[in-house]
Structure formats: C-alpha cells, structure tokens
C-alpha cells in the first residue's frame, strides 16, 4: 500500500476501516477535556463500555441470590467459566476443553511448570529468551532452584547477536538443537514485551519436540494480539493474562491452555485443589483427587466471578468482530502505517532521531512498535503524554507505542507522528 503522511489520508483509511465501529465500544482516558490517543493497550487495554453492565449483572445476582448464585439464576457461578471457554478457544486456536480461565498469569505459570517441568539428571535445562519479562525470569529461576538446580547451569537464555535487538529464529532453533539432550523444557514468550518481536512458535515447538523437550509459552503479549493455533502447533501448554490486548481490566483473570494429548496421562503431577476435582462428584467431599476432564482439572480455587465477568464482557466484543483474523488484518496495516510515519519524521528531521527496534516484517510483530530516541527519550515521552498521547516508557530508553486494531485509528497514528515531528524540531532548535 502507498501510504501518505497527511490527515486526509489517515481519515480516509478510517472511513474505509470495516472495524471502525468498534472504537465506540470502549472508554478512553480523558485529559484537558479531550479523549487521549491511547497507545498503551500492550500494558493495559481500555475498558469496554459493556463491562459495567456485565459486572453489575453479577453484583445483582450476588445481591439477590447470595450463596444460591452458585446454582441459580441465568448464569450460575458454578458453570460460568464454561461460557468463557467457548469464547477463549478461538482466540488462542484451541478446543474448548483445552482452555480455562483461572488465577493470574504467574500463578498459572508456576502451576503448569509443576506439571511440565520434570527435570532429571540427564534433562534439567530450560531454554528461554534473554530479556524476558521479569516475572517469567523469576518464576523460572525459582522453579529451577525448587528442584535443586543452579539457575546458572540450568537456564539457557537465547540472546540477540551483538548489535541486534531481536532474535533470529534460526539462532533459537540452533540453541535448542545443540543442547537438545539436556533440555527438559523450552519456555518462551509468544511476543517479546520490550521489542514487540513475534516469535515463530510453531517452529520453536517442532524443534523442541524433535529433541525430546516439552514446549510452553507465556502469551501475555500475544493472546488477543495475533492469531494463534496452539492445538495445531502441538504446543504442550501456555498461559496468558487478559488485561492487555483482551481488555479485561487491571489484574484481570488469566487463562491456561493444556493440549488434549496430555489429558490421558496418569503420571502427570499437578498441585490439586477442590475446584479442579471432577465436577459431577465435587460436592461429595471425598478423599483422593480425581481431576475434572481437560484444562479445568488444573483449577485450584473456585471461580473468581467478578474478574471473570469483566473478561466475559471483553470476549463478547472479540466474538462480534469474528475473533482474530479481521483484527490481524487491520493490525498489520496500522503498524505498517506507524512505521511509515516514524520514518517520514526521521526524513524530515534529517538526523535519524527515532530508531525502530521492532521487526520491520509485519509477520514478525504484533500491534506494538518500540522506538529508541537518539537523545532525550524520556523528555519526548513526557511531551507525548502532555499532548494527549499515552504510550509506554520502558527503561532505559524505549518508548512503546501500540495501535490496537480493536479501538485505535489511523488518525491516532498520524497525530502521534505530528507530535514526534514537533518535539524533534524543538530539540533541534535548543
């Protein structure tokens, strides 16, 4: 597509956008009496307007049914998670039985590693991306120590080549191949939080299985952002949060995926809890844990009804747009336009003020574009915020901008470029 760096072009793109009506279904933060240009969905998604109604319905049920709400009413809490499962499954490319909403992300990561990180004297190492989000680093480090291993020996971090910001797929696969006999688990993020790089999860899974390892993914930045096919890719397990691209509110409930091939295993350990017990006999209160079929058998505590209702509200909007394919089509164009606008700003400034560290290939990124300012990065970020553009600052020098296809527009992108040009010119004149 031949882009143009002007307002008329951006507005014409918005008029032609088949998803433009979705923008009106979300609430934007306000500043100085105006809606902000919100480019921080990679950190916390916007509130769907229907969230209040869906939450109020559950508050109404609590008020009027009290404890009977578990079994009475139009959405008995005992089975509420099943309504979400059928909407979650298409977002991650799974069968309904393979997914479950529960807990929070790092809690789920630990619970799944209990089952799928089973080190022994020969296989005890975990392969992960260097620079993964700290919660993943801490979780993996603590799991390794729990099993009696030294993280320096047991964790293999795959880092970009010198001078690069992103990982080459062939380098990831080479590390897995080289260390194959010692690898118990390959555990990657689906998208790197810092650079926005989308990893080739299918290739990583295939190579991990080829060397005899288990393969799992943290999909915090991928679920609701890019199409996923976890079942077809034969991924062993995955987990994700719901408060970023899935707009389920701060601290929103997490989701898990366990491939159905593991459901028949009699030797797969897990940390059990009452809510993971077989549903039909759960209230007999008998000794001896018998897991419910599918991913539900990894539940520990009872349904978190209120957080789940917020997730339910958001998932209904994904269903309205036809789930991930239409969103991905717009997302590629939207981020490509942001690339174009930033490069136009650099051309006009003549100094390469902004370096993009997100892959230029649209198939290797999601909805996030990360940039490094040549100088005065925090000052530039603060200028954007002051002028009603809310992105995200990451130390030491990265501005993350995420035009989310569900609610962002091409005009949002153009106006952000205008502000980057304005502050760039101002800094040149200082």
CB-CB contact of 376 with 427 (8 Å): yes
Strand 183-189 and strand 214-218: the pairing is parallel
Residue 417 burial (10 A CB sphere; 0-12, 13-18, 19+): buried
In order, the DSSP letters of 284-341 are G--SS--BPSGGGGG--S---HHHHHHHHHHHHHHHHHTTHHHHHHHHHHHHHHHHHH
Q: List all residues 6 or more positions away from 291 whose beta carbon is below 8 Å from its beta carbon.
A: 270, 272, 276, 277, 278, 297, 298
Write the pLDDT tens digit of every residue in 76-110.
999 999 999 999 999 999 999 999 999 999 999 99
Write the pLDDT tens digit of every residue in 290-303.
999 999 999 999 99
Residue 10 burial (10 A CB sphere; 0-12, 13-18, 19+): buried
Over the Cα atoms of the chain, what is R_g? Answer: 23
Residue 428: per-residue pLDDT: 86
Q: Which value, to the nearest 10 degrees, does the dihedral of the CA atoms of residues 305, 308, 314, 316 take?
A: -70
Q: Where in the chain do CATH 3.40.640.10 domains reside?
A: 53-321
Residue 322 region, left (φ>0) first, then alpha (ψ -120 to 50), else beta? left
Q: φ and ψ at 61, to 5 degrees?
A: -60, -40
CB-CB contact of 367 with 404 (8 Å): yes
Residue 352: per-residue pLDDT: 84
Q: List all residues 6 or more positions away from 192 whose beta carbon is below 8 Å from its beta carbon.
A: 129, 131, 132, 166, 167, 199, 221
Closest CA to 336 of 303, 309, 369, 375: 369
Residue 171 burial (10 A CB sphere; 0-12, 13-18, 19+): middle
Can you tell me the distance from the alpha carbon of 271 to that of 22, in angstroms, rounded to the nearest whole number?
A: 40
If one counts every other C-beta atom within 10 angstroms of the C-beta of residue 398, the result is 21
Can you tell me the distance from the alpha carbon of 157 to that of 133, in angstroms, rounded to the nearest whole number?
A: 13
Residue 430: per-residue pLDDT: 74
Residue 267: per-residue pLDDT: 81
If one counts every other C-beta atom within 10 angstroms of the C-beta of residue 268, the result is 15
The DSSP code for 120 is -
CB-CB contact of 255 with 223 (8 Å): yes
Can you tell me the distance from the alpha carbon of 112 to that of 26, in angstroms, rounded to the nearest whole number?
A: 33
Can you tell me the distance from the alpha carbon of 266 to that of 263, in angstroms, rounded to the nearest whole number?
A: 8
Residue 266: per-residue pLDDT: 76
Q: Where in the chain do CATH 3.90.1150.10 domains reside?
A: 7-35+324-429
Residue 343: per-residue pLDDT: 97
Closest CA to 298 of 24, 114, 106, 125: 114
Which stretches in the chain have pLDDT values below 70? none
Q: In sequence order, what are the beta bridge partners of 284?
A: none
CATH 3.90.1150.10 correct for 7-35+324-429: yes
Can you tell me the distance from the alpha carbon of 143 to that of 183, in angstroms, rounded to the nearest whole number?
A: 15
Please give the class, per CATH, of domain 53-321.
Answer: alpha beta
């Amino acid at each position: 597509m031949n882009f143009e760096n002007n307002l008329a072009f951006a507005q014409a793109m918005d008029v032609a956008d088949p998803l433009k009506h979705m923008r009106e279904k979300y609430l934007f933060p306000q500043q100085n009496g105006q809606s902000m240009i919100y480019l921080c969905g990679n950190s916390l998604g916007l509130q769907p307007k229907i969230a209040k109604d869906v939450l109020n319905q559950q508050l109404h049920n609590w008020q009027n049914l009290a404890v009977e709400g578990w079994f009475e009413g139009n959405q008995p809490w005992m089975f509420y998670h099943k309504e979400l499962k059928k909407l979650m499954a298409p977002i991650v490319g799974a069968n309904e039985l393979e997914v479950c909403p529960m807990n929070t992300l790092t809690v789920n990561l630990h619970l799944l590693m209990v089952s799928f990180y089973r080190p022994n004297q020969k296989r005890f190492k975990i392969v992960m991306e260097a620079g993964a989000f700290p919660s993943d680093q801490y979780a993996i480090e603590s799991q390794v120590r729990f099993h009696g291993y030294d993280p320096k020996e047991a964790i293999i971090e795959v880092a970009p080549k010198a001078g690069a910001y992103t990982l080459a797929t062939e380098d990831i696969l080479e590390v897995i191949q080289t260390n194959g006999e010692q690898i118990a688990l390959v555990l990657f993020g689906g998208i790197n939080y810092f650079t926005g790089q989308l990893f080739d999860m299918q290739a990583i899974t295939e190579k991990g299985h080829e060397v005899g390892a288990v393969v799992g993914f943290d999909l915090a930045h991928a679920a609701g952002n890019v199409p996923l096919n976890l079942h077809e890719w034969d991924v062993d397990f995955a987990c994700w949060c719901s408060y970023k691209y899935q707009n389920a509110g701060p601290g929103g409930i997490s989701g898990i995926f366990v491939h159905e091939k593991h459901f028949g295993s009699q030797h797969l350990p897990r940390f059990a809890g009452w809510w993971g017990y077989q549903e039909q006999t759960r209230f007999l209160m008998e000794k001896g844990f018998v897991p419910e079929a599918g991913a539900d058998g990894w539940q520990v505590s009872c349904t978190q009804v209120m957080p789940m209702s917020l997730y339910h509200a958001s998932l209904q909007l994904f269903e309205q747009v036809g789930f991930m394919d239409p969103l991905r089509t717009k997302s590629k164009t939207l981020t490509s336009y942001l690339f174009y606008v930033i490069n136009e700003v650099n051309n006009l400034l003549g100094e390469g003020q902004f370096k993009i560290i997100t892959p230029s290939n649209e198939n290797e990124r999601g909805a996030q574009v990360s940039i490094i300012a040549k100088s005065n990065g925090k000052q530039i970020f603060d200028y954007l915020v002051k002028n009603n553009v809310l992105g995200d600052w990451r130390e030491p020098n990265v501005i993350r901008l995420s035009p989310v296809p569900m609610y962002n527009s091409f005009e949002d992108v153009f106006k952000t470029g205008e502000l980057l040009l304005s502050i760039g010119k101002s800094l040149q004149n200082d």
